[in-house]
Amino acid sequence: MSVASVKAADLQLVADVLVIGGGPAGTWAAITAASKGAKVVLVDKGYCGSSGATAPSGTGVWYVKPDAELREEAKQSRFGLGGHLAENSWMDRVLDRTYENMNKIAEWGYPFPNDENGTQYRRGLQGPEYMKLMRKKAQKSGVKILDHSPALELLADEHGVGGATGVRTQAGGTWTVHAGAVVIASGGCAFLSKALGCNVLTGDGYLLAAEAGAELSGMEFSNAYAISPTFSSVTKTAYYKYASFYYEDGSVVEGAGSQKGRSIIARNLQQGRQVYARLDQAPEDIQPLLRVGQTNFFLPFDRLGIDPFKDKFPVTLRLEGTVRGTGGIHIAGEHCATKVPGLYAAGDAATRELICGGFTGGGSHNAAWAMSSGSFAGEGAAVYALNLGLKKEFRRLKGLSSSPLSAKAADQSASRKTEEYVRSVQEEVMPYDRNLFRTEKGLDGSIERLDGIWNELRSKAVTLDSDGVKTREAAAMTATARWMYHSARVRTETRGMHKREDFPQLDNEQHHRLVSGGLDQVWVKPQEVQKEAVIH
Amino acid sequence: MIEIISESKCVSCNQCVHVCPTNVFDRVENGIPVIARQSDCQTCFMCELYCPVDALYVSPDAEAAIQISEKEVEQQGLLGGYREKVGWGPGRKPVSSHEYMYQLAVKTRF
């Protein structure tokens, strides 16, 4: 049992539903739970409204009118790319719920553009506007928001999860929320790569869930890399469909591209050959539209006096990990329940295989999944918590952190050590020849070193302050990398985004999910994909 | 990374302290906020966007701090450009409702 669960927290709250994470999935979960009559607290590691991958970006949304033909086309479009691992019934549910929720967003006042007939066009969202609206809507719905309040551990008893505890990095002190149900919506893991908005996404929710006994799924689908200028955080790979790629001497990099040609860029960068891009394929009439579509894409160029349509600029591939991968917490029921009673998962914290298998070609599926799974989880958590009734009053909850929480102050050497652990994990997951192009030998080496890091971190005290938060982030990233690579090792084929150099073909015998879990001992097991999938 | 909090423009509203997802700023009693943990900045530009008086400048370089002064930033007209493009602030129209959003979608299927 950890210290924090023994000593009373500085801020103690009781709620029906606690939501961890204030991005799109978390706010949808909170608003939906509140609409079912639940008392909701939402905690965010940063600020609900600016935190996470969605807030600083524009994104398309998988918004398809309820027309049989259009829906069928939408489901088919990425089914093959995802390695045939999506499930028909989930795609239907998410298409329905996304349609419904986007229409709600319009009702709540989101300023959508109009088409030529004056009808709102609802297939995209601008992050700053969307998340500002979601924060306001959550507050109006009575959700209590704690910003700058990262969770350090879940609390549970023999009946399941019953809350969480953490620290307040700005207000100071600790918080504890006792709740009938907890929704984890803390995003994926991009390993502090500085991909736009992603540095708060360190796999925290995966670790919290696994410590409670929940399972993960599809963690081999975790090697998403985005194209970005070397000098910038802005990762908007879609725009590079208008790019040509060049070597330093001006000759063309044959076969390089934003979709399938990303590997060619990676192999060049790996061999130390800088690749340059220029958006010279963008027709002139499209250029002003592109400038409006992603305002922040052009910001770095404008500030450096570069015209990306005319000038060549050096590019790199920034790791987006599971943020644009599809692996995450395994979903065990329609309301995004995990196998642990009282624990739910939504958004990038949950697996997205159910709607896009092992590959997401862009933000639109993730955005649809965030708002759908968030509202499914919010409903499920509210109903579960409200049905607990009086049972929730007398629970003896204990903390589940795998490393001991400590009320002592951090010392400087500990925080330097944490930085070293983070760098060591990054060295395993960032290099293209380890993560993008995988081999058994490479994975085995990484697993051995990651196991070593985990064993050290396991006994490190987690102080109740910002340093402790970073220690937990390091542990979460280490654990995430281990589930990724153990799963990648077992999948001896190439499917979706998972690429094995030593097994370059798809193997029909491996048309299954890989469920994983465990902390000191990581395990991986195959699980059948639901059979009723009618599309081929 | 965040480089500048303009002393002449900042009104100490501390919005940047609140909205920074990675807690880079510290509030100062009777003063303007300070950039306390620059290396934690993820270069997401959200602080600039939420600053009501365009007092902040985030350099596009996500990896390293640069040497730039408030005077240089002001002379080069670098303050407030992002907020203007997003269409936030009095009298502006949010870019999310811009007709080009729709036209782009039709022409490119983004």
What would the pLDDT profile of A297-350 be if each residue is shown by its tens digit? 999 999 999 999 999 999 999 999 999 999 999 999 999 999 999 999 999 999
Of A106, A174, A234, A91, give the one whose Cα is nearest residue A405: A174
Q: Which two tokens stand for residue A429?
A: 């997951």
pLDDT digit string (tens) for A74-110?
999 889 889 999 999 999 999 999 999 999 999 999 9
End-to-end CA distance of chain B: 29
Query: Looking at the partner chain, which of A113, A170, A303 has a beta carbon nearest the beta carbon of B101?
Result: A113
pLDDT at A4: 42
pLDDT at A536: 43
Of A476, A478, A448, A472, give the one whose Cα is nearest residue A460: A472
**Which chain B residue shows the shortest CA-CA distance from A146?**
B18
Contacts of A52 in chain B (CB under 8 A): 21
Is A60 in Cβ contact with B104 (below 8 Å)? no
Is B110 in Cβ contact with A60 (below 8 Å)? yes
**Which chain B residue shows the shortest CA-CA distance from A54?**
B44
Query: Looking at the partner chain, which of A50, A286, A304 has a beta carbon nearest the beta carbon of B21?
Result: A50
Q: If DSSP codes are grouped into helix, strand and coil, which group holds residue B73?
A: helix
Of A136, A132, A173, A138, give the one whose Cα is nearest residue A41: A138
Q: If DSSP codes are grouped into helix, strand and coil, which group holds residue A407?
A: coil
pLDDT at A371: 98
Is the model's pLDDT at A44 over the cut of 50? yes
Residue A272 binned pLDDT confidence (cut-offs 50, 70, 90) = very high
Query: Looking at the partner chain, which of A60, A199, A466 has a beta carbon nearest the beta carbon of B42?
Result: A199
Is A51 in Cβ contact with B108 (below 8 Å)? no
pLDDT at A407: 87
Contacts of A123 in chain B (CB under 8 A): 105
Q: Which two tokens stand for residue A127?
A: 């992050």
Of A247, A45, A308, A260, give the one whose Cα is nearest residue A164: A45
Contacts of B43 in chain A (CB under 8 A): 194, 196, 232-233
Indicate the range of A6-10, A155-159, A277-281 predicted with least confidence.
Answer: A6-10
Residue A500, by phi and psi: left (phi above 0), alpha (psi -120 to 50) or beta?
A: beta
pLDDT at A1: 39
Is A170 in Cβ contact with B23 (below 8 Å)? yes
Question: Is any Cβ of chain A less than 8 angstroms from the Cβ of B22?
Answer: yes
CA of B84 vs chain A CAs: smallest distance (Å) = 10
- Percent of chain A scoring above 90 in pLDDT: 88
DSSP conformational letter for A261: T
Tell me the CA distances in angstroms from A468 to A60, A450, A451, A510, B25, one per residue in order: 36, 20, 21, 40, 19
CA of B50 vs chain A CAs: smallest distance (Å) = 9
pLDDT digit string (tens) for A282-311?
999 999 999 999 888 999 999 999 999 999
Q: Which of B42, B57, B88, B98 to mutate to test the interface with A (most CBs of A within 10 A)?
A: B42
Is B62 in Cβ contact with A50 (below 8 Å)? no
pLDDT at A179: 96
Is the model's pLDDT at A534 over the cut of 50? no
Mean pLDDT of A145-161: 97
pLDDT digit string (tens) for A190-241?
999 999 999 999 999 999 999 999 999 999 999 999 999 999 989 888 899 9
**Which chain B residue shows the shortest CA-CA distance from A469?**
B22
pLDDT digit string (tens) for A375-396?
999 999 999 999 997 666 678 9
CA of B106 vs chain A CAs: smallest distance (Å) = 10
Whole-angstrom distance, CA of residue A31 vs CA of residue B51: 27
The alpha carbons of chain A give a radius of gyration, in whole angstroms, of 22
pLDDT digit string (tens) for A481-526?
999 999 999 999 999 999 999 999 999 999 999 999 999 999 999 9
Is the model's pLDDT at A415 over the cut of 90? no
Helices A24-35 & A363-388 angle (0-180, nearest 10): 30
Mean pLDDT of chain A: 94
DSSP string spanning A504-520? -S--GGG-EEEEEE-SS
CA of A192 vs chain B CAs: smallest distance (Å) = 9
Contacts of B18 in chain A (CB under 8 A): 47, 147
Length of chain B: 110
- Percent of chain B scoring above 70 in pLDDT: 98
Helix (H) or strand (E) holding A17: strand A11-20
Q: pTM of the predicted model, to two decimals? A: 0.96
Q: Which domains does chain B have, with CATH numbers?
A: 2-108 (3.30.70.20)
- Centre a 10 Å sphere on the Cβ of residue A339 and count the other Cβ atoms it contains: 17
The answer to whether the Cα torsion of A204, A207, A211, A215 is positive or negative is: positive
Question: Is any Cβ of chain A less than 8 angstroms from the Cβ of B68?
Answer: no
Question: Is any Cβ of chain A less than 8 angstroms from the Cβ of B64?
Answer: no
Whole-angstrom distance, CA of residue A303 vs CA of residue A379: 45
Whole-angstrom distance, CA of residue A138 vs CA of residue A127: 16
Whole-angstrom distance, CA of residue A153 vs CA of residue A164: 6
Interface A-B: count of C-beta contacts within 8 A? 140
Whole-angstrom distance, CA of residue A389 vs CA of residue A342: 13
Of A254, A257, A258, A219, give the one whose Cα is nearest residue A235: A258
Query: Looking at the partner chain, which of B62, B94, B100 has a beta carbon nearest the beta carbon of A129?
Result: B94
pLDDT at A392: 62
Is the ipTM here above 0.95?
yes
Contacts of B59 in chain A (CB under 8 A): 303
Q: Which two tokens stand for residue A175?
A: 């918080």
Query: Looking at the partner chain, which of A124, A290, A299 has a beta carbon nearest the beta carbon of B45?
Result: A299
Tell me the CA distances in angstroms from A304 to A91, A231, A232, A397, B104, one per residue in order: 43, 10, 11, 54, 25
Residue A2 binned pLDDT confidence (cut-offs 50, 70, 90) = very low
Whole-angstrom distance, CA of residue A362 vs CA of residue A487: 23
Is the model's pLDDT at B67 over the cut of 90? no
Contacts of B46 in chain A (CB under 8 A): 50, 55-56, 128
Helix (H) or strand (E) holding B103: helix B99-108
pLDDT at A289: 94
Is A466 in Cβ contact with B101 (below 8 Å)? no
Residue B2 binned pLDDT confidence (cut-offs 50, 70, 90) = very high
pLDDT at A5: 43
CA of A12 vs chain B CAs: smallest distance (Å) = 22
Q: Which two tokens stand for residue A222?
A: 């975790």
CA of A487 vs chain B CAs: smallest distance (Å) = 30
CA of B22 vs chain A CAs: smallest distance (Å) = 6
Query: Looking at the partner chain, which of A45, A114, A290 has a beta carbon nearest the beta carbon of B102?
Result: A114
Is A147 in Cβ contact with B100 (below 8 Å)? no
Is the model's pLDDT at A9 over the cut of 90? no
Is A290 in Cβ contact with B104 (below 8 Å)? yes
Contacts of B62 in chain A (CB under 8 A): 194, 231-233
Is A125 in Cβ contact with B21 (below 8 Å)? no
Q: Which residue has the higher pLDDT, A393 or A479?
A: A479
Mean pLDDT of A126-139: 98
Residue A180 binned pLDDT confidence (cut-offs 50, 70, 90) = very high
pLDDT at A390: 60
